[in-house]
Amino acid sequence: MTLPSYLEGSWRTGAGEGTPVADAVTGEIVTRVTSEGLDLAAAVAYARRTGLAALGELTFPQRAAALKAAALALQERKQELYDLSARAGATRRDAAVDVDGGIGTALVYASLARKGLPDHTLIVEDDPIPLGKGGTFAGRHVLTTPRGISLQINAFNFPVWGMLEKLAPALLAGLPTIVKPATPTAYIAAQAVRIIADTLPPGAIQLVAGGIPGLLDLLGGQDHIGFTGSAATAARLRADRAVTRRSARFNAEADSLNCSVLGPDAVPGQPEFDLFADALVTEMTVKAGQKCTAIRRAFVPVQLMDAVSEAVEARLARVVVGAPGAEGVTMGALVGLAQRDDVRAAVARLTGAREAGSIVYGDPHKVEVVGADAERGAFLSPLLLRADDVDRPEPHEVEAFGPVSTLMPYSGIPELHELIARGEGSLAGSVVSHDTDFVRQVVLGAAAHHGRLLVLDRDSAGESTGHGTPMPQLVHGGPGRAGGGEEEGGLRAVHAHLQRTAIQGGPEILDAIVNRDMQTGEQR
């Protein structure tokens, strides 16, 4: 029953009872997660010794080929991951976001690296920059692989995508990875590692199921820590001495109160009105709203509040909650009962004692469920809230990490900008309007508070990738509350794992240093 960890090239089981992980739909125990007694120091040493050396043997295109092989192995066996994802409450559509999204991300990275990185182990960023009048002294920037590892600590909601979007740039940069998946879905991440382990060089990937006590004590300035999860955990890790004293690179992707804005031009009957309502319902229901990019605050012109509320309620009434795979089900379960308790508590804060908002659709304690028992499984109705008093702090502060969004009115662009800023930094925002001037003003005012902004209108809707979908070619992350980090963004993410060094000297020496043909095998 205990989920093994993949360490030093073999699967090893931790000691003790471990944390039980229940099936999100039936409540049966799926596995137990523990890392007790596992030698994590040996795992770090193995990554530094074996993984770093094996990846260092490969040029960027060779690493890209290994990454592609891993993605294709997953592609071949993705049904196994869908089946496990269903036990975590994910419908086929939800699993596609995680599994296919992850595979697609790895393939995009492999392709970008093959086309955009040199047949080398270092990147030369620029031509020699003259630093003297006589032409005998210059400088240029190179990016090389740190002598470290990449530790990735992931959130529960994307066990496959979250792992691959961090693995891809680390692998391409030549850094061996240790994955620490979130306990509730660690069994899905572990299966993905099982599938890809043999496609990668030895030591390139390891996985710890369970806690990682003492592991950060082993990390320092050559290492990279990529974290995704709650703002509270991000704050704790950011304060670790590995980061504060030894300057391990630390990137955080945390929660955020993402917004979507409806333009005043998008009245009922206009395509943008329907696009807004559809997108909101999609964001509320995909992965039962357990998406870091989901729309939490929906800003609507004050005069359209009732019309939008009715349109969204009508769509939510068509959502069928139940067991993934059961007839007609369009929304699955939350990952577990504890998560449902958290969401209910957040909704109580958003609506409760101090009457910050009201529920206009759904009941947090009651939901009709198809193909499962509503109480044994972690089911929750989609919940549409409405907060007419936009000055209340709760809708701008409380993240209900489930199928929950709040409608809020605005009266003009200055007020809208203020409301957007009150989220204190978000991963993703969207503007739904066909009025170019309105869109321009909103985007320029909102950009500083966002990592990504999507404009949706009748012309782009057909090809639009949607509010909640990070793209490997574009940056994912956000300022402030969203963690202050940046992932993806094409090759930017690879560069972020490398060390940039300015090298100064005579032009010939500079050439000799960066020219692969002049290097011995060992140097390469």
Q: Provide the minimum distance between the beta carbon of 289 and ligand NAP in the complex, in angstroms, as a whole number.
A: 10
Q: Using an 8 Å Cβ cutoff, are 485 and 475 in contact?
A: no
Q: Which residues contact 304 (CB under 8 A, 6 or more apart)?
A: 262, 264, 266, 267, 268, 273
Q: Verify whether residue 313 is a known catalytic residue.
A: no
Cα radius of gyration (the chain): 24
Please tell me which residue in 165, 272, 292, 394 is annotated as part of the active site. 292
Closest CB to ligand NAP among 212 and 267? Answer: 212
Residue closer to ligand NAP by CB (options 180, 297) is: 180
User: Closer to ligand NAP at the Cβ: 211 or 325?
Assistant: 211
Provide the pairing of β-strand 224-228 with 150-153: parallel
Contact footprint for ligand NAP (CB under 6 A): 153-158, 180, 182-183, 212, 228-230, 233, 236, 253-255, 292, 399, 401, 427, 483
Nearest to 83 by CA among 230, 191, 166, 171: 191
- Which residue number has the CB closest to ligand NAP? 229
CB of 232 to ligand NAP, least distance (A): 6
Q: Shortest gap between Cβ of 221 and ligand NAP (angstroms)? A: 19
Q: Cα–Cα distance between 158 and 170 in angstroms, integer?
A: 18
How far apart (Å, rounded) are the C-alpha atoms in residues 456 and 434? 8
Confirm whether 253 is a catalytic residue: yes
First to last CA, the chain: 45
341 or 418: whose CB is closer to ligand NAP?
341
- Tell the smallest beta-carbon distance from residue 401 to ligand NAP (Å): 5
Q: Do 106 and 71 meet the contact criterion of CB atoms below 8 Å apart? A: yes
Query: CA–CA separation, 479 vs 496, rounded Å?
Result: 17
**Cβ nearer to ligand NAP, comparing 146 with 289:** 289
State which residue, 158 or 438, has the beta carbon closest to ligand NAP: 158
Size of the chain, expressed as the number of residues it contains: 524
Cα separation, 176 vs 56, whole angstroms: 10
Q: CB of residue 511 vs ligand NAP: minimum separation in angstroms?
A: 41
Does residue 484 contact residue 497 with C-beta atoms inside 8 Å? Answer: no
Rounded CA-CA distance 487/500 in Å is 17
Taking the complex as a whole, how short is the minimal distance between the CB of residue 423 and ligand NAP, in angstroms?
12
Q: Which of 165, 253, 283, 394 is catalytic?
A: 253
Residues designated catalytic? 253, 292
